[in-house]
């Protein structure tokens, strides 16, 4: 065995380059066709999303054109794909839905090009689509024929937002979720059941629409009918965690079928999320999240027996579950050391096949840093959670203690899972330690933990990031004099607010499209989905004006003394460029060390390979200057 070279932490060379991160694929969804003979998935690379299929006995085939891109544009996206028996429907960048045969041929637009369309659900007979449309700040459910011969007809529009429409297997009913301002779907969302009737020309329409669960500070999501049409399953957090429930349609009785301290749902940042699926009329396969790790469970609807499905132990994160009428399951699967893969799995035989990899996987898992669950308490005894990545190298041994990067997730009601985080490996293999903070107010640890952010944005996230850094330093795992706070969007806000509230605590900040002015985030918002989110996180205006001013870094930027590097897309409609411009002007006037990079043509996150490569190089160079060699 070759002896390791001794070199200061943070100065190691790594085979994980910024260029390689820019080249990775990103999977958005995976789905079977109706009889399970074709597997379809969406993969995004170089800022373009393509539809790929694999049929029995055939190789992979990309069926969208090189100049065509698939993109859901409602909220943060999602719900781009629906697959029937022999055709797929997907959301185009121009807001239309397109139909494309799985056998090849051209794509055909089936809806007009206005607004945005997503979450299409194909009727059991394949003739109709119900989908979500957003146009001029009005969201609703529309119906169109699958051939695109008629103009769409509006079925429902009584709530500010709507998501996840599904058909009854007989086509006689539909279920969906809706919610109203100022709630977000993880705060309060209602499950609706609509009777489907036919007008005089035989076109489906909604009859009676009933609210059957959720609302009033209860979040519901992902309705799905049983194969025989007698039951409707859904996820609700009424019991304190996102649990599975089943409604018997004949009697109206609702039964909770899971009850453990774990999540069977997740915040609906995007359309089209799938956390479970019916295998048969008595059995549900579900994804269960506990302590940032996901397992596949087999649940008996009648007895409530809940068992872990064996055979997927290599993976710690699973998503977008899809089942065939037989026993095959498709999933997007990853771990902290395995980049995401498209896999198929037979839960009966345990046979698993990798259908597609998102990265080269040239780095064996043993050369990477494996995420470790950590839990700590602050000075008041409050508990927070996170994932810790220690420095990792087969070639180098560190000298002293490693510098620490504390990564704060977005949302702020998001959750960092034990999936593959390329940025963690990029830094850990160079000798940095990385802590992903699942701070109070985030999801994954029950409703009470999530609700701690109500009125307290800029409090728990700031405190838990700092106490997490102190916890690791006290344990002798990191250098207490070299620590970076790092985050994007709401996490970028936490970076700025932390530099304001705790000057001198952090060695530097890395801020991606962070909020600097809470007032203009509300008043200048062009992003409907989050336009009233701050009412929950900070309070209603004008009554809470003092809170907004106190939690706006731009009004207190004179307290910032630590170096900060900022990144911004010039087409960001979630956190507009003006938010970053404002804080940069103050930093410049006061002589605080900073860098500012604005990426042309980028929005709320990076899509272009050149942007991704430049971002990692710039962030790394900044930390070398102001952290390693301070």
DSSP 401-461: ---EEEEE-STTT----SS--HHHHHHHTTT-EEEEEE-TTSSSS-HHHHGGGTT-TTTHH
In three-state secondary structure terms, 56 is coil
pLDDT tens column, 246-304: 999 999 999 999 999 999 999 999 999 999 999 999 999 999 999 999 999 999 999 99
559 assigned to some structural domain: yes
- The pLDDT, as a whole number, for residue 369 is 97
Question: Model confidence at 546, in pLDDT bands (50, 70, 90)?
Answer: very high
pLDDT of residue 2: 73
The verdict on residue 508 lying in a domain is yes
| pLDDT tens track for 181-222 | 999 999 999 999 999 999 999 999 999 999 999 999 999 999
Q: Which residue has the tokens 């086509």?
A: 171
Closest CA to 617 of 16, 25, 48: 16
Whole-angstrom distance, CA of residue 442 vs CA of residue 431: 28
In a domain, 62, yes or no: no
Domain count, the chain: 1
Q: What percent of the chain has pLDDT over 70?
A: 100
**Best CA proximity match to 9, nearest among 408, 367, 406, 434:** 434
Contact (Cβ atoms closer than 8 angstroms) between residue 43 and residue 25: yes
Distance CA 127, CA 184 (A): 33
Q: What is the pLDDT of residues 486-513, one digit of tens each?
A: 999 999 999 999 999 999 999 999 999 9
- Contact criterion met (CB below 8 Å) for 453 and 463: no
Angle at 76 between CA 78 and CA 297, to 5 degrees: 50
Residue 96 covered by a domain = no
Cβ atoms within 10 A of the Cβ of 377, count?
11
Is the bond preceding residue 8 a cis peptide, omega within 30 degrees? no
Backbone angles phi, psi at 446, to 5 degrees: 95, 165
Pairing status of strand 433-438 against strand 383-389 = antiparallel
- Residue 1's pLDDT band, with cuts at 50, 70 and 90, is low
The verdict on residue 180 lying in a domain is no
d(CA 388, CA 54): 37
**Averaged pLDDT, 142-152:** 96
Report the C-alpha gap between 81 and 67 in whole angstroms.
18
Mean of pLDDT values over 236-242? 98
User: Per the domain annotation, does 492 fall within a domain?
Assistant: yes
What is the SS3 assignment for 554?
helix
We report the CATH number of the domain holding residue 616 as 3.40.50.1820
Bridge partners, residue 307, by sequence: 298
Say how far apart CA 62 and CA 450 lie, in whole Å. 40
Residue found by looking up tokens 């504390």 in the block: 406
Give the model's pLDDT for residue 346.
95
The token pair that represents 121 in the structure block: 């659900």
Q: Has residue 184 been placed in a domain? A: no
Identify whether the C-beta of residue 299 lies closer than 8 Å to the C-beta of residue 275: no
Within-domain flag for 114? no
Round to whole Å and give the CA distance between 26 and 29: 10
Pairing assessment for the beta strands 433-438 and 404-408 based on DSSP bridges: parallel
Domain carrying residue 550: 5-17+363-628
Judged by DSSP in three states, 77 sits in coil
| Cα–Cα dist 423/540, whole Å | 36
Q: 298-348, pLDDT tens digit by residue?
A: 999 999 999 999 999 999 999 999 999 888 999 999 999 999 999 999 999
Measuring CA to CA, how many Å separate 441 from each of 82, 183, 210, 452?
33, 15, 32, 5
Q: What is the pLDDT of residue 525?
A: 83
More confident residue, 379 or 434: 434
C-alpha distance from residue 606 to each of 47, 334, 595, 613 (Å) = 8, 21, 18, 10
The token pair at 86 is 């022999």
Distance separating alpha carbons of residues 290 and 260, to the nearest angstrom: 10
Going 603 to 606 to 607 to 612, the CA torsion angle's sign is positive
Percent of the chain whose predicted confidence (pLDDT) is above 90: 91
Looking at the chain, the number of H-run helices and the number of E-run strands are: 10, 38
Q: What is the pLDDT of residue 260?
A: 94
Phi-psi region at 604: left, alpha or beta (left = phi > 0; alpha = psi -120 to 50): beta
């Amino acid at each position: 065995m070759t002896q390791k070279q001794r070199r200061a932490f943070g100065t190691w060379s790594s085979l994980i380059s910024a260029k390689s991160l820019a080249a990775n694929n990103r999977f958005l969804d995976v789905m079977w066709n109706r009889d399970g003979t074709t597997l379809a998935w969406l993969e995004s690379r170089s800022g373009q999303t393509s539809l790929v299929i694999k049929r029995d006995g055939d190789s992979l085939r990309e069926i969208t054109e090189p100049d065509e891109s698939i993109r859901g544009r409602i909220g943060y996206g999602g719900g781009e794909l629906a697959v029937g028996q022999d055709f797929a429907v997907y959301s185009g960048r121009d807001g239309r839905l397109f139909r494309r045969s799985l056998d090849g041929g051209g794509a055909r637009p089936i809806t007009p090009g206005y607004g945005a369309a997503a979450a299409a659900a194909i009727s059991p007979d394949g003739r109709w689509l119900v989908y979500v449309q957003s146009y001029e700040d009005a969201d609703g459910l529309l119906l169109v024929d699958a051939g695109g011969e008629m103009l769409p007809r509006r079925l429902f529009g009584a709530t500010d937002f709507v998501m996840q429409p599904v058909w009854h297997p007989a086509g006689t009913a539909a279920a969906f979720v809706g919610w109203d301002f100022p709630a977000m779907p993880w705060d309060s969302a209602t499950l609706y059941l609509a009777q489907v009737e036919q007008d005089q020309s035989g076109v489906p329409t909604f009859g009676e629409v009933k609210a059957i669960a959720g609302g009033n500070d209860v979040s519901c999501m992902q309705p799905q009918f049983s194969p025989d049409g007698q039951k409707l399953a859904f996820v609700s957090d009424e019991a304190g965690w996102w649990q599975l429930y089943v409604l018997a349609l004949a009697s109206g009785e609702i039964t909770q079928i899971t009850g453990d301290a774990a999540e069977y749902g997740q915040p609906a940042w995007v359309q089209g999320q799938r956390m479970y699926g019916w295998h048969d009329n008595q059995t549900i396969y579900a994804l269960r999240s506990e302590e940032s790790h996901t397992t596949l469970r087999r649940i008996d609807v009648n007895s409530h027996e809940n068992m872990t499905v064996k055979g997927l132990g290599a993976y710690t994160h699973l998503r977008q579950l899809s089942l065939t009428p037989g026993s095959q399951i498709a999933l997007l699967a990853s771990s902290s050391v395995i980049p995401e893969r498209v896999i198929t799995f037979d839960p009966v035989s345990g046979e698993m096949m990798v259908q597609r990899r998102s990265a080269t996987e040239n780095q064996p898992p043993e050369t990477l840093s494996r995420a470790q669950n950590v839990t700590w308490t602050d000075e008041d005894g409050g508990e927070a959670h996170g994932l810790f990545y220690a420095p990792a190298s087969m070639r180098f041994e560190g000298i002293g203690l490693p510098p620490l990067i504390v990564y704060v997730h977005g949302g702020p009601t998001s959750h960092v899972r034990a999936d593959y985080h390329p940025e963690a490996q990029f830094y850990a293999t160079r000798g940095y330690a990385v802590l992903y903070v699942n701070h109070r107010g985030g999801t994954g640890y029950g409703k009470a933990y999530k609700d701690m952010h109500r009125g307290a944005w800029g409090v728990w996230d700031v405190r838990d990031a700092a106490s997490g850094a102190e916890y690791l330093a006290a344990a002798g795992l990191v250098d207490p004099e070299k620590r970076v706070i790092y985050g994007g969007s709401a996490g970028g806000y936490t970076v700025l607010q932390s530099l304001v509230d705790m000057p001198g605590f952090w060695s530097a900040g890395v801020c991606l499209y962070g909020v600097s002015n809470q007032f203009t985030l509300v008043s200048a918002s062009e992003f409907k989905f989050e336009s009233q989110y701050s009412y929950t996180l900070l309070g209603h205006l004008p009554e809470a004006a003092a809170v907004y001013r106190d939690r706006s870094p731009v009004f207190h930027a004179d307290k910032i003394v630590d170096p900060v590097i900022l990144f911004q897309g010039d087409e960001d409609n979630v956190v507009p460029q003006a938010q970053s411009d404002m804080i940069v002007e103050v930093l410049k006037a006061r002589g605080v060390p900073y860098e500012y990079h604005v990426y042309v043509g980028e929005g709320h996150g990076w899509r272009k390979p050149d942007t991704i490569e430049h971002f990692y190089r710039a962030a790394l160079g900044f930390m070398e200057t102001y952290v390693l060699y301070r």
